[in-house]
Amino acid sequence: MIAVELRKLLGRPRTWVMVALLCLLPTIVAVFLKTSGVAPRPGTGPAFLSAVLQNGALFPAAALAIVLPLFLPVAVSLIAGDAIAGEAAAGTLRYLLVRPVGRTRLLAAKLVSVVAFCVLAVAAVSGSAYVVGTQLFGATAVASVSGPDLSTSQATLRTVLAVLYVGWCMFGVAAVALFLSTCTDSPLAASLGAIALLVTSGVLVGLDSAGVVQPYLPTRYWLAFIDLFREPVAYRDLVRGTALQAVYLAVFLGGAWANFATKDVTS
């Protein structure tokens, strides 16, 4: 079943269009940076961009910071929101279940395929950004955000860690969208519901008077991956972010399973 779901995901043109669009945005930014030669002043604009002109090897991290606030979670929400509700809307859900595919098995297979998309998307963005960055800006020794230089191997390791962290954050988004996907027969409603949650979270993170709830908001620690490029690495937010996403993952996947396993399929 997992193989079937992966085949469906990878065989669908939509998947590749989304991945291509995700890679396109950082590339556009890179082209503008290169042609104008004007970087945002340090401390303004998306993270790392000011440093990218000197060092293309930092561009994967910058690219992640560019797509993380909106594009990446939207793409993940679309795929995960479509997982069950899309099958329901197309009418294929009932045929899968009478085939029969166990409900838990189907949900697990959908989860694997959504996780695969998250990994694919993050890897494609950082991979394409590495190529674009090193081609346009060249790769020299990487300066950490807080000053001292990082060796190439250190920088590579940290970029890989950043990719994993961002991927992990996307699993949290995927879990929310997958849960909503089991609640409705409309894939659009499920995706938009997940996006609405993220937008709400984003607004509250920027609102000082919402300080009480901020540590529990899903998007609160997303940009903590920037801390990986400090010397020494500031692990506090990274650990909190990882743990918080784990809680979101557990709660929403549990909810998705409990809901779907006992649901009347009337689509």
- Our finding on whether 199 is near other proteins (CB under 8 A) is no
DSSP string, the chain: -HHHHHHHHHT-HHHHHHHHHHHHHHHHHHHHHHHH--PPPTTSSSTTHHHHTT-GGGHHHHHHHHHTTTHHHHHHHHHHHHHHHHHHHHTHHHHHHHTT--HHHHHHHHHHHHHHHHHHHHHHHHHHHHHHHHHHH---PEEPTTSSEE-HHHHHHHHHHHHHHHHHHHHHHHHHHHHHHHH-S-HHHHHHHHHHHHHHHHHHHT-GGGTTTGGG-TTTTGGGGGGGGSSS--HHHHHHHHHHHHHHHHHHHHHHHHHHHT-----
Judged by CB under 8 A, which of 6, 39, 97, 189 binds other proteins? 97
- Our finding on whether 264 is near other proteins (CB under 8 A) is yes
Site string for other proteins, 72-91 (x = CB under 8 A): ------------------xx
Residue among 143 and 265 whose Cβ is closer to other proteins: 265
- Our finding on whether 99 is near other proteins (CB under 8 A) is yes
- Our finding on whether 94 is near other proteins (CB under 8 A) is yes
Site string for other proteins, 12-51 (x = CB under 8 A): xx--------------------------------------
Binding site for other proteins (CB under 8 A): 1, 3-4, 7-8, 11-13, 90-92, 94-102, 262, 264-266
